[in-house]
Amino acid sequence: MSAVLSCEGLCVGYQRTTVARDISVSVDKGEILAVLGPNGAGKTTLLLALAGFLRPTAGRIAVDGSDVTGSSARRMNRAGVVLVPDNRALFTNLPTLDNIRIASRKGGATVSEVLDLFPQLRDRTKVRAGMLSGGEQQMLAVARALVQGPRALLIDEMSMGLAPIIVEQLMPLLRNIADEVGAAIILVEQHVHLALEIADSAMVLVHGAVSLSGKAAELRGDPAALEAAYLGTALAGPADGEETETAGSATTS
C-alpha cells in the first residue's frame, strides 16, 4: 500500500540557494509526522515544495504512489494536498461561516461536520474572521482545509502567536482529525514536546537536512538526542554555496 504523501531525495530552495536537501518522508493515512527544528532550518520550505508552491531542484514527490513532482499548487490541492500556512490565509472581513463555505468542495467535510470538530466556532459563525481570537482563527484555518477534502494536511506553525495553554488545547484536535477523518498530517511545529505527544513519527531539520528521525514516542523519551539534533552536533555543516543557518533552542512547553 502506497503512502498518501511521500518524497525521496527532495532538494528545494530559492534561486541558487538550496534551503532543504536530500529530504525523504512518507506519511500514511491517519498518521501525523511532526517536522521539528530551529528557525531557518527549511521546515516551511519543505511544506511549500510538498504543496506545489516551490519546484524541487532534485528528488521526487508522490501522492498515493503516483509521481507528482513539479506539479502546480492548484494540481496538488486537487490531488488532496492542502496547506494551512502560518499566516492562516483567512478572509478577515468575512464572517466565519462564509470563510468555511467559500473553501468547501465536493467530497470534503460539510460545514456541520467541521463545526462538530470545532464546536467553539459554532457560536462564532457570524463574527468576522479578523475579530476572532488567535485560537479561533487557527481552528477556522484548519476547518477551511477540511472542507476541501484533504488526503494530506500540511500545517505550518499552528502555534504561531498563540499562548502555550491555547496550543495545548489545539494539539489534540489534530490527533482527532487524523484518527476520525483519516487525513495524513505533516505538522511543522516549535512546541516540540506538545507535537511529539500527538505525532506518530518525527524528524528534526537543521541546516536544511535531517538531523534526527524516528518514532515520536522514542524521540520524546530521549531529550538528549533531541538537544543534540537541534544543536546540529550529529550533522555536518552545509555544503559550499548553501544557506548557513544557526540552530536555536526549541520551545518545549
Give the tens place of pLDDT for each residue, 192-243.
Answer: 999 999 999 999 999 999 999 999 999 999 999 988 888 766 544 444 343 4
Contacts of 67 (CB under 8 A, 6+ apart): 60, 61
Hey, how many other C-beta atoms are within 10 angstroms of the C-beta on 27? 25
Residue 180 DSSP one-character state: I
Q: Which three cell numbers stand for residue 25?
A: 518522508
**In whole angstroms, what is the distance from residue 185 CA to residue 183 CA?**
6
**In whole angstroms, what is the distance from residue 6 CA to residue 116 CA?**
30
CATH of the domain at 74: 3.40.50.300
151-200: per-residue pLDDT in tens?
Answer: 999 999 988 888 888 889 899 999 999 998 899 999 999 899 999 999 99
- Alpha helices (runs of H) in the chain, residue ranges in sequence order: 43-50, 73-78, 96-103, 111-117, 134-146, 164-176, 192-198, 216-220, 223-231
Give the C-alpha distances (Å, rounded to integers) separating 107 from 65, 113, 193, 246, 249. 21, 12, 34, 43, 41
6-48: per-residue pLDDT in tens?
Answer: 999 999 989 888 899 999 999 999 999 999 999 889 999 999 9
Query: Residue 142 falls within a domain, yes or no?
Result: no
Q: Which three cell numbers stand for residue 55?
A: 519546484
The count of structural domains within the chain is 1
Q: 248 pLDDT exceeds 90?
A: no
Structural domain including 12 reads 5-80+150-231
Query: Residue 164 falls within a domain, yes or no?
Result: yes
What's residue 66's pLDDT? Answer: 94
**In whole angstroms, what is the distance from residue 27 CA to residue 152 CA?**
8
Query: Residue 173 falls within a domain, yes or no?
Result: yes
What's residue 232's pLDDT? Answer: 67
Query: Residue 27 falls within a domain, yes or no?
Result: yes
Query: Residue 246 falls within a domain, yes or no?
Result: no
C-alpha 169, offset from chain centre: 17
What's residue 233's pLDDT? Answer: 61
Q: 126 pLDDT exceeds 90?
A: yes
Per-residue pLDDT, averaged over 122-127, amounts to 94
Per-residue pLDDT, averaged over 40-67, amounts to 95
